[in-house]
Amino acid sequence: MDSIQEKVIKLKEAIDIELSFCNPTDTPYLCPLLENTNDKIKIVDRIVSFVANEGISISTAISQVETELNPNYIPD
């Protein structure tokens, strides 16, 4: 059985694969941030948090992060 740390590592690897397909047309606020290592680490950690705490898929978590980064988004 994998330890929690091993599961997090595998999750981060899966997230990296998903983010490698980042399309600026679809996620114009998230994609440019992936060029900066520190920003990418923060984004991956945020996605891990969504997946682990909210039980959502990686792609849904990426969309959620994009929404949070959008300066035009006004939360309810």
- Answer whether residue 76 shows pLDDT above 90: no
CA pair distance 51, 4, nearest whole angstrom: 14
- List the domain range (segments joined by +) for residue 19: 4-69
Do 56 and 64 touch, CB atoms closer than 8 A? yes
Q: Does residue 74 form part of some domain?
A: no
Q: Does residue 63 form part of some domain?
A: yes
Q: Does residue 62 form part of some domain?
A: yes
Q: Which two tokens stand for residue 30?
A: 């998230």
Q: Averaged over 2-22, what is the pLDDT?
A: 95
Q: Does residue 76 form part of some domain?
A: no
H helix intervals, the chain: 4-19, 37-54, 58-69
The model's pLDDT over 16-47, given as tens digits with 9 standing for 90+, comes to 999 999 999 999 999 999 999 999 999 999 99
Q: Does residue 75 form part of some domain?
A: no
Q: Does residue 60 form part of some domain?
A: yes
Residue 17: its pLDDT value, please?
A: 97
Residue 28: its pLDDT value, please?
A: 96
- Answer whether residue 74 shows pLDDT above 90: no
Task: Write the CA distances from 75 to 1, 2, 69, integer angstroms.
Answer: 40, 37, 12
The model's pLDDT over 54-68, given as tens digits with 9 standing for 90+, comes to 999 999 999 999 999
CA pair distance 62, 43, nearest whole angstrom: 9
